[in-house]
């Protein structure tokens, strides 16, 4: 019983520290910030906290972020025909961002369970669409992209609302990584987890991803205190900084703030090469 109390106090203290920090920058970060900028944004179906549906405003926030790659969540209607809600033509014309090609869930849809991955430059080498377990229908995109600095695997996900579902979904993601060749890998998206420490559903990820170190508050957008939106890198040296994109427009356009990260892909690839690294074996299941 005493250990549980101590664990609870520790988690509370860690969460308080996260709430009070606007960004993450580890000691190993280089002064140039890295070679790729990546972001995640739950666009809330393009409906702002003012209840207005405004895909152009959503596009303006995406333009503010100015990322090379951005993972979007809730880009489609959830029910019925699951029509896409973004103005993809506008995003391409103004920002040069195009979606990673997938088979959408409906003829009028943009994404896979609402997940869309946009990129500006680079080459798509492989894409996999994952169905994730749990009470709610959830999914993730696994995309291997080739950049001048090297190849990067991106897992763009929107995890469930229930803790047990998130644990199962994390196990599924790790199982997929076990079957793949080793690349610098990023897990990014609305992971729907605010807890830190042993009580977090993301503890399952620890053999590969450190879910605490890069956590920054992103929800709710008007007064962000919870780190629901994450950027997790493997190896951990891949991510050189993470911050919430906190602007007046971003605070209104969605109930989540975007999170933005700098990556040092070249350094991470060299590190994996020198280590002859393989993603550690992971026991999945309860």
**Per-residue pLDDT at 143 exceeds 80:** yes
Please provide the size of the chain in residues. 286
Distance CA(121)–CA(144), nearest Å, equals 13
The per-residue pLDDT for range 4-42, each reduced to its tens digit, is 444 445 456 555 655 555 666 655 444 445 789 999 999
Classify residue 1: in a domain, yes or no: no
Total domains in the fold of the chain: 1
What pLDDT is attached to residue 31? 42
* 120 located within any domain: yes
Residue-wise pLDDT for 179-227, tens only, equals 888 899 999 999 999 987 788 999 989 889 998 889 999 999 999 999 9
CA distance 122 to 132: 27
- What does the alpha-carbon distance between residue 203 and residue 209 come to, in Å, rounded to a whole number? 9
At residue 12, φ and ψ (nearest 5 deg) are -65, -40
What integer pLDDT is reported at residue 105 of this predicted model?
80
- CA–centroid distance for 278 within its chain: 22
**What is the structure's pLDDT at 79?**
72
Let me know: does 173 contact 167? Beta carbons within 8 Å.
no
Instruction: Assign 95 to helix, strand or coil.
Output: helix
Rounded to an integer, the average pLDDT of 249-276 is 92
pLDDT per position as a tens digit, 110-141:
999 999 999 999 999 999 999 999 999 999 99
Establish if 225 belongs to a structural domain. yes
Q: What is d(CA 150, CA 269) in angstroms, rounded to the nearest whole number?
A: 7
pLDDT attached to residue 142: 97
Q: For residue 134, what are its two tokens? A: 């749990």
Is 2 inside any structural domain? Answer: no
* CATH number for position 140: 3.60.10.10
Q: Which domain holds residue 227?
A: 32-275
């Amino acid at each position: 019983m005493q250990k549980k109390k101590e664990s609870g106090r520790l988690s509370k203290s860690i969460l308080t520290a996260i709430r009070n920090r606007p960004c993450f920058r580890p000691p190993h970060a280089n002064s140039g910030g890295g070679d790729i900028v990546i972001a995640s944004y739950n666009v809330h179906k393009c409906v702002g906290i003012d209840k207005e549906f405004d895909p152009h405003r959503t596009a303006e926030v995406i333009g503010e972020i100015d990322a090379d790659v951005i993972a979007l969540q809730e880009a489609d209607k959830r029910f019925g025909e699951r029509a896409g809600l973004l103005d993809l033509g506008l995003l391409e014309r103004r920002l040069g961002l195009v979606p990673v090609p997938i088979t959408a869930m409906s003829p009028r849809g943009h994404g896979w369970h609402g997940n869309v991955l946009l990129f500006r430059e680079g080459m798509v080498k492989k894409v996999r669409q994952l169905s994730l377990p749990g009470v709610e229908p959830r999914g993730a995109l696994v995309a291997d992209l080739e950049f001048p600095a090297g190849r990067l695997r991106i897992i763009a996900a929107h995890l469930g609302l229930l803790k047990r579902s998130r644990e199962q979904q994390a196990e599924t993601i790790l199982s997929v990584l076990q079957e793949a060749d080793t690349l610098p890998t990023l897990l990014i998206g609305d992971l729907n987890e605010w807890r830190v420490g042993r009580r977090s559903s993301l503890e399952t990820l620890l053999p590969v991803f450190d879910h605490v170190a890069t956590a920054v508050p992103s929800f709710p957008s008007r007064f962000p205190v919870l780190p629901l939106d994450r950027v997790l890198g493997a190896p951990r040296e891949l991510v050189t900084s993470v911050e919430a994109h906190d602007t007046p427009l971003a605070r209104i356009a969605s109930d989540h703030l975007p999170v933005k990260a700098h990556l040092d892909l070249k350094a991470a690839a060299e590190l994996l090469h020198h280590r002859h690294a393989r993603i550690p074996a992971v026991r999945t299941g309860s």
